[in-house]
Amino acid sequence: MLTSKWVQLAVLAVLIAALPLLFPSGYYYRIGALIFVNALAVTGLVILVGWAGQISLGHAGFAGIGAYACALAPEHLGLHPVVAIVLGMVISAGLAALIGKPILRLKGYYLGVATLGFGILVTMVLTNERIWTGGPDGMSVAKLGLRELLRDMGVRVSGGVFWYWACGIVLLIGAWLALNLYNSATGRALRALHGSEVAASTIGIDVPRLKLQAFVISAVYASVAGSLLALQNGFITPDVAGFMHSIEIVTMAVLGGVGSVVGAILGAVILTLLPQVLTVFAEYEQLVLGAVMILVMIFLPRGLLPSIAARLKRKP
Amino acid sequence: MDSLLQFLFSGLTVGAVYALVALGFTIIYNASDVVNFAQGEFVMLGGMITVFAHEAGIPLPLAALLAVVLTAAIGVALNKLAIEPARGAPVVSIIIITIGASIFIRGASQLIFDKQLHRLPSFSGDAPIRIGGATILPQSLWVIGGALIVFVALWLFFTRTLTGKAVLATANNRLAAQLVGINTRAIMTLSFALSAAIGALAGVLATPITLVSYDVGVALALKGFAAAMLGGMGNPKGALVGGLLLGLFEALTAGYLSSQYKEAVAFIVILAVLFAMPQGLFGAKSTERV
Amino acid sequence: MKTTMTLTGLTLALLASTAHAELRLGASLSATGPAAFLGDPEAKTLEMLVEELNANGGINGEDVVLTLYDDGGDPNKARTFATRLIEDDGVVAIIGGSTTGTTMAIADLADGEGIPFISLAGAVSIIDPVREFVFKTPHTDRMACEKIFTDMQAQGTTVIGMISGTDGFGASMQAQCKDVAGDYDITIAADETYGPGDADMTPQLTNIANTDGIQAVLNPGFGQGPAVVTRNYAQLGIDLPLYQSHGVASNGFIELAGADAAEGVRLPGTALLIADILPDDDPQKEVATTYKAAFEEQAGQPVSTFGGYAHDAFALMVDAMTRAGSDDPQDIRDALEATSGLIGTTGTYTFSETDHLGLDLSAFRMLEIVDGGWSAID
């Protein structure tokens, strides 16, 4: 860790609170909220990929479960959206525990293809069960109701502003929990695991159990991110669970620096902003995006934040 | 008409396409432990370059040759510009580099070519061949034959030639390979050229059946990757069997169970195989590739 | 993708300094990604038409400035770009949403912010229930089903098989067709699907052909699926009428499927597909041939129904802006709803308070592929 837990959290909190002062229009709140949602999912991947050293190419599947829990539960079960978020977390955690046990025995690319298969299965169910999910055209999501509650209390906020703050606060909580985990006994064991599974098991660490824990925790992060996305968009399609979304969040994690929460958030910031900036390149957008991914990985193989930090340290 | 036989023909046709893509993964993986997610783009390039060269008036065989050579050159460039400089980076970084390359090639293709769907004329006409109440197109035989020939050639290459053994030695222990005088950089260049050429060949053979556009690569890469993992990454036999099995699963599921969930069933079978055999059907049992 | 059509605008603005006003029009289309089939011709159409309009003096002397984004078919991106168009670019109207998913993501926002929005997507749920600011130009998939079933009924067909794509277009039309089949005394005895990238549909078609009593087969889908289905249909030698949907919407289809395999395929299409063979007294003749010629010269690819949707949306917008005589979104919306008898490539539009599509079945034409070309059969 670069600095202590509280400094990192304080910097994050100040940034979230101060940035709106620079926003020229409501569109920037939307981008901010998207960054926070992505950063939340990516924080989960830091735990799984960065600390436990496992790979996942299907994590968007859990985001899909969280998103559709918020779409389906209020409509069919009459649950409040907040309860639906929790329901999504429970389902994601349960499913992760169920499939994690056999899947996590696999290594490297084999684990990659297994998780990828999981993501594709989730997408397929969401796409095909039209009667429930609206199929590929998607379905609308009930409102959270908090904004209306605030309005009744005399506080009026626009949707964009509300979701900026809501997602920002959830991200802060997520980052705080992740940093607590990092400094706990479990966190230390996880990092030992990343170093060498064999060595970790010889000093009495229950390796399969620990990997499963990391998998379940990261699944819950993705699920909450999916829920927040569904609620703020008010509309959801199976794309949220798709392969490209899985790749997107892994790329964010690795680009920023998969070992640290702050690095991961930086990755989310860059990859969320990049497509918005690249619109000026018109047809060259994909070309530039691909080139950026390659160049960062070549020149800063450990990700932006760790590489920059290492460079700063080297200088007196 | 005979259902089972028709399902099998369909499965073999589609499976042979998957197998060709999977075979392309094999060489690069054997030389460098890299799973190249841009492999699907090589297939796309093979199809697109042939289509555009053919439209420009170049005869089909020559256009196909041009496509294979150009794609091989692009494969070499990918190695030199993106893979070699990142030597020793962790698996996730390599995955992201090859995915970045795939996005880059796709972006370039939509600029250089277009975003329309294209097709090549079938090599031996469109008259279906009737066998026992089912039909198969002559082009399917081209694809199946192509997959078999590439498989045999690769198998001979890895077991009978010095260069092929040098590739395997490089994968096994890079330093040791260098010590016994193998030029590992040249081996890497060769393996990317070969992989890209095989991918392009797959594109040329399959385009009369599957059609081609600038963005077909991702789906093909995913299926080829899954097929290669099913068979055991790095083994040509695994790639061939994995590809054919995947195609057959899909066709039989579509025929007998549900066409909606045919891909789901295919992935469930892959997961089941991996749980039982974590290295795939024909994978090496001992090597740890993390 | 952001293309600002300011070549003429820039010169004029330099000459007239600040006095020159402009009308800001926004668009979010799926110019790349799985729906590029739709979005690519749509984007090219809008860019071409804006250039053309400004070269001819714009609207009431004001240039139209088009801000166009590529949402890649992702509803989440579409929503972000819609926010950007409204909040940051300050557009007064939006065209777009190539797919139903992206449309729904934009519609809520546009309606909430009071920005007139014309969608280019098919589903009936976009305009039913009617939302104050949301309009659309394509026929609904339900209407396509009705048109096809009317033709089947006329042929005495009562039992059919369906093979649908699992993409948004295919799945939505599949559901609508199953819903209205009963009204035309049609039974769907076999119901199969295929994935968007599938290369061989012979297993599904074999099952359909082996189902008892099938008299015709219907294939709702777009992209490569219908071409592969048509080729497999010929390969298996199935001797029943094959109906495609309006998703098969350009000459490209005949080329991809092959003229032999496509022979005799029937589908509901728009005037645009048969522009050349329309009788001279057809009200759509002029607009269809003009757009077809201009697009094919500019883009170097065959004109498609989808580009036609964008053409019509732009024509509706320009007409409404001209009549509104202001750049106030509310005025433009009111003018849009008052549209009456505007002839487009898809049909003749007349909007009302209860109808934000403004087309009826008469605009759909039943076409048949004969000798590698289109012919109208009604």
Confirm or reject contact between B179 and chain A (CB < 8 A): no
The beta-strand segments (E) located in chain A are: 139-140, 235-236
Q: What is the tally of structural domains in chain B? A: 1
The predicted structure's pLDDT at residue B133: 85
A161 CA to chain C: closest CA distance, Å? 12
Within a domain: A18 = no
Nearest C-alpha in B relative to C207: B255
Give the C-alpha separation, A38 to C14, whole Å: 43
To the nearest 10°, report the CA torsion of B173, B175, B177, B181: 180
A243 CA to chain B: closest CA distance, Å? 10
- Answer whether residue C1 shows pLDDT above 70: no
Confirm or reject contact between B110 and chain A (CB < 8 A): yes
Mean pLDDT across C2-29: 57
Choose from C163, C174, C206 for mutation: most chain B CBs within 10 A. Answer: C206
The predicted structure's pLDDT at residue C2: 41
- Answer whether residue B242 shows pLDDT above 60: yes
C-beta separation of A214 from A103 below 8 A: no
Mean pLDDT across C210-230: 93
Q: How confident is the model at residue B286 (pLDDT cuts 50, 70, 90)?
A: very low
Identify which of C83, C105, C175 has the shortest CB distance to residue A27. Answer: C83
Mean pLDDT across C122-145: 92
The predicted structure's pLDDT at residue C293: 95
- My answer on whether C183 and C257 are in the same domain is yes
C-beta separation of B262 from B254 below 8 A: yes
Confirm or reject contact between A79 and chain B (CB < 8 A): no
Confirm or reject contact between C120 and chain A (CB < 8 A): no
- My answer on whether C129 and C75 are in the same domain is yes
The predicted structure's pLDDT at residue B284: 64
The predicted structure's pLDDT at residue A315: 56
Choose from C200, C207, C211, C240 for mutation: most chain B CBs within 10 A. Answer: C200
Give the number of other CB atoms < 10 A from CB of residue C159: 16
C260 CA to chain B: closest CA distance, Å? 10
Give the C-alpha separation, C67 to A226, whole Å: 30
Confirm or reject contact between C211 and chain A (CB < 8 A): no
What percentage of chain C reaches a pLDDT higher than 70?
94
**How far is CA B276 from its chain centroid?**
25
CB-CB neighbors (< 8 A) of B233 in chain A: 109-110
Nearest C-alpha in B relative to A249: B96
Alpha-helix runs per DSSP H in chain A: 5-18, 26-45, 60-72, 81-103, 108-128, 130-133, 146-152, 159-183, 185-195, 197-202, 207-233, 243-256, 261-278, 285-299, 304-314
CB-CB neighbors (< 8 A) of B44 in chain A: none
- Crossing angle (nearest 10°) for helices B3-32 and B39-55: 110
The range of the structural domain enclosing residue B179 comes to 3-276
Within a domain: B243 = yes
A127 to C171: CB separation less than 8 angstroms, yes or no = yes
Q: Is B215 helix (H, G, I), strand (E, B) or coil?
A: coil
Higher pLDDT among residues B33 and C332, named by residue:
C332
CB-CB neighbors (< 8 A) of A49 in chain B: 92
- Interface size between A and B, measured as CB pairs under 8 A: 133
Query: What are the angstrom distances between the C-alpha of C87 and each of A26, B28, C314, C341?
Result: 6, 48, 22, 33
Within a domain: B290 = no
Average pLDDT of the residues of chain C:
90
The range of the structural domain enclosing residue A229 comes to 5-12+27-314
Angle at the Cα of A32 from the Cα atoms of A30 and A36, rounded to 5 degrees: 115
A53 burial type by CB count under 10 A (0-12 exposed, 13-18 middle, 19+ buried): buried
Residue B129's beta-bridge partner residues? B136
C203 φ, ψ (degrees, to nearest 5): -60, -45
Name the residue with tokens 């939340």.
A40
Q: Is A195 helix (H, G, I), strand (E, B) or coil?
A: helix
CB-CB neighbors (< 8 A) of A24 in chain C: 88
**Could you say which residues of chain A have pLDDT below 70?**
1-3, 314-316
Confirm or reject contact between B270 and chain A (CB < 8 A): yes
ipTM for the whole complex: 0.89
CB-CB neighbors (< 8 A) of C228 in chain B: 210-211
Confirm or reject contact between B277 and chain A (CB < 8 A): no
Within a domain: B187 = yes
Within a domain: C67 = yes
Within a domain: B162 = yes
CA max distance for chain A: 64
C-beta separation of C309 from C137 below 8 A: yes
A135 to C75: CB separation less than 8 angstroms, yes or no = no
Q: Is A213 helix (H, G, I), strand (E, B) or coil?
A: helix
CATH number at residue B130: 1.10.3470
Identify which of A108, A114, A290 has the shortest CB distance to residue B91. Answer: A108
The predicted structure's pLDDT at residue B1: 58
The predicted structure's pLDDT at residue A316: 47
The predicted structure's pLDDT at residue B289: 43
Name the residue with tokens 């669970």.
A241
Summarised one tens digit per residue, pLDDT across range C204-217 is 999 999 999 999 99
Q: How confident is the model at residue C7 (pLDDT cuts 50, 70, 90)?
A: very low
Summarised one tens digit per residue, pLDDT across range A190-223 is 888 877 777 787 777 888 899 999 999 999 999 9
CATH number at residue A113: 1.10.3470
Query: What are the angstrom distances between the C-alpha of B24 and each of B148, C235, C280?
Result: 13, 30, 56
A234 to C70: CB separation less than 8 angstroms, yes or no = no
Cβ under 8 Å to C: B residues 148-187:
none
Name the residue with tokens 């997107």.
A248
Q: How confident is the model at residue C168 (pLDDT cuts 50, 70, 90)?
A: confident
The range of the structural domain enclosing residue C38 comes to 7-139+287-362
Summarised one tens digit per residue, pLDDT across range B254-276 is 999 888 888 888 888 888 888 88
CATH number at residue C196: 3.40.50.2300
Q: Is A260 helix (H, G, I), strand (E, B) or coil?
A: coil
Identify which of A128, A258, A297 has the shortest CB distance to residue B97. Answer: A297
Identify which of B86, B107, B290 has the shortest CB distance to residue A286. Answer: B107
Q: Which two tokens stand for residue A303?
A: 């990700």
Q: How confident is the model at residue B27 (pLDDT cuts 50, 70, 90)?
A: confident
Average pLDDT of the residues of chain B:
89
Give the number of other CB atoms < 10 A from CB of residue B56: 8
The predicted structure's pLDDT at residue A286: 84
Within a domain: A74 = yes
C263 CA to chain B: closest CA distance, Å? 14
Within a domain: C282 = no
First to last CA, chain C: 41
The predicted structure's pLDDT at residue C179: 93
Within a domain: A20 = no
CB-CB neighbors (< 8 A) of B89 in chain A: 297, 301
Q: What is the tally of structural domains in chain A? A: 1
Tell me which residues of chain C have a C-beta less than 8 Å from any C-beta of chain B: 31-34, 36-37, 40, 166, 192-195, 197-200, 202-204, 206-207, 209-210, 223-224, 227-228, 231, 234-237, 252, 255-256, 258, 260-261, 301
- Crossing angle (nearest 10°) for helices A243-256 and A261-278: 120
Mean pLDDT across C9-18: 40
Summarised one tens digit per residue, pLDDT across range A150-165 is 888 887 788 889 999 9
Within a domain: A113 = yes
Nearest C-alpha in C relative to B219: C197
CB-based contacts of A132: which residues, under 8 Å, 6+ apart?
A: A72, A76
pTM of the model: 0.90
- Other chains touching A, judged by 3 or more CB pairs under 8 Å: B, C
Q: What is the tally of structural domains in chain C? A: 2
C-beta separation of B231 from B238 below 8 A: yes
C-beta separation of C228 from C249 below 8 A: no
C108 to A235: CB separation less than 8 angstroms, yes or no = yes
C-beta separation of B42 from B167 below 8 A: no
Long-range contact pairs involving B91-94 (C-beta distance under 8 Å, separation at least 24):
B91/A55, B91/A108, B91/A109, B91/B290, B92/A49, B92/A55, B92/A250, B92/A254, B92/A258, B93/A254, B93/A297, B93/A301, B94/A297, B94/B34, B94/B35
Mean pLDDT across C106-114: 93
The predicted structure's pLDDT at residue C9: 40
Within a domain: C343 = yes
- Interface size between A and C, measured as CB pairs under 8 A: 87
A276 to C84: CB separation less than 8 angstroms, yes or no = yes
